Structure 1
């Protein structure tokens, strides 16, 4: 009996690599994550990282862009932003929904990836300010949006590095009311 060759699915392989990389980068940071770790977790050959992303830096950039897309999409439904942030925060400990907010705290040491990371943070805050009732995105309103984003990133960091309770075990439903209060206080004009 001859072995049936396994059918290749580039899109599925790319998705597996991105999911594994997001988990690894969010949990361990850029420097402590190896391409072999990512490939092993995804169950694929390490050479496929170079095929689909050119390098570890390219894979990190793709992960950051994914976070940027998700956050950007959240602003389109501005009333859903606190829920999306609560979902991101509560999903940190699950395999299916790695806390992508942590990726925005991770520096790669790569200049291009760092520019993308800071650009995503800046753009999200500006879009959030505009959606929050500041169409001209003046400095005071952008600052309020950046404070809101900083609070969300601080929550992500605390949840990933401490067991402080009740924050450490709060689920999406428990996180949503205080996030909504913060959102309403900082961006009341939406």
Structure 2
């Protein structure tokens, strides 16, 4: 009887701890996305999760570690970059045009990145997450030399279009026909996707 009671008590504690940790992490993602690393504090994250700041620190150790886990969770899904190397430019261009349309939902990982980039430590954490979740992926599927460089250039193109179209909302980008934008993005991306020609061959 005692053993049964102990087991039933122990199970809920594990489940409650997991749910509490998840609530804190979700609150942190929301707070860092809305306010950036410097603007969001542990107390605000705790309030959003319905716990105390002490409990947040107990689960995550520090604001920096909490931010690192929030970034890792936010950056893991590939919402724009394609997984298919044979259709990388086409699918990525299509997704980018759709996800940056004026009436599309905000891309929260980009907002988190934009609002936290001014902090050097936050930038370092985000740089590592980008490399882990998409940088290595692109470097692995792009053919030819300098794949890592071309992958970062492709990510820069994606981030720049997102910033100019969704955040700054320049008239040319917000007013362009979706199909036209997709085609032009695909052409630009294909230049980076294609393996560069051997310079010695092209110069001979």
Q: What TM-score comes out, normalization by structure 2 length?
A: 0.61
CA apart distance, 1:75? 6.3
Q: 1:18 aligns to what? A: 25
Is 1:147 the counterpart of 2:153? The answer is: yes
CA distance in 1: counterparts of 2:48 and 2:166, whole angstroms: 20
CA distance in 2: counterparts of 1:12 and 1:169, whole angstroms: 44
Q: 2:140 aligns to what? A: 130
| Maintained 8 Å contact 1:162/1:168 | no
Please, which of 92, 113, 129 is the counterpart of residue 120 of structure 1? Answer: 129
How do residues 56-75 of structure 1 correspond to structure 2 at under 5 angstroms?
A: 56-71=63-78
CA distance in 2: counterparts of 1:185 and 1:48, whole angstroms: 50
CA distance in 2: counterparts of 1:107 and 1:91, whole angstroms: 24
Q: 1:162 aligns to what? A: 168
Q: 1:3 aligns to what? A: none
Going from structure 1 to structure 2, the CA distance change for 1:29 and 1:13 (only over 3 Å counts) comes to: same
- Matched length: 175
CA RMSD of aligned residues (A): 4.0
Unpaired runs of 5+ in structure 1?
A: 1-5
CA distance in 1: counterparts of 2:24 and 2:43, whole angstroms: 11
Unpaired runs of 5+ in structure 2?
A: 1-11, 196-204
Q: 1:51 aligns to what? A: 58
Q: 2:48 aligns to what? A: 41
Q: What TM-score comes out, normalization by structure 1 length?
A: 0.65
CA distance in 2: counterparts of 1:92 and 1:66, whole angstroms: 25
